[in-house]
Structure 1
Amino acid sequence: MLTSSSYAGALKKKPRSAEKNLVIVESADDSTGMTEKKGEVAKALEGVQITETRYSDKNTVMNFATTNEMNDAMTKLNAVDDLKVKHKQRRLVPKIMI
């Protein structure tokens, strides 16, 4: 049987990382969307650890755990001709409940 303290500990969420290392990939050609480029992105990022990925027809947003992994991914993605790569590093503010 779970006590109230062990039950609360079991429901604890993982701590959020202090920052997000985001790479935004868009198609260089406006007539083609990112759905056609998914294979090229996956092939270029083979062996790179990605924390989170969000796909849309306009762009693909990927989050990496460390800046080294992000830089490695950007180097590999810049080698692909048909892709535009942007980088955004966002520092997260802790949530405060009042």
Structure 2
Amino acid sequence: MDTVQLVVSEMVTNARKYAPGPCLLTLEVIEGAVEVSVWDSGTTLPAVGARDPGRIGQHGLEIVMAVCRAFSVRREPVGKRITAAIELADDPGGDPAGRQPT
């Protein structure tokens, strides 16, 4: 669950920091993954910055995209919705839920 907490923290922090109004967080378990969805009233879509190892901060979106199996951004009639899916693990060894060992 540490990964889910990280993704929620990054996504909600960005919504509160960059959107002018309220935000809404939704968590659902779908097909072996936790789907984190954040709606906010901002109209500016997030963008990953150019690679810059010397850059301090503003790596949240890169981190979220690196740990998720799926990531999407879509405009809504008001604002936007950002959704990330984080694979669940069946056991402490990290085998993803719903997958059979080969």
Larger Rg: 1
TM range (shorter): 0.3 to 0.5
Bigger proportion of residues as helix? 1
Q: With structure 2 as the length reference, what TM-score do the two structures score?
A: 0.40
TM-score, length of structure 1 as denominator length: 0.41
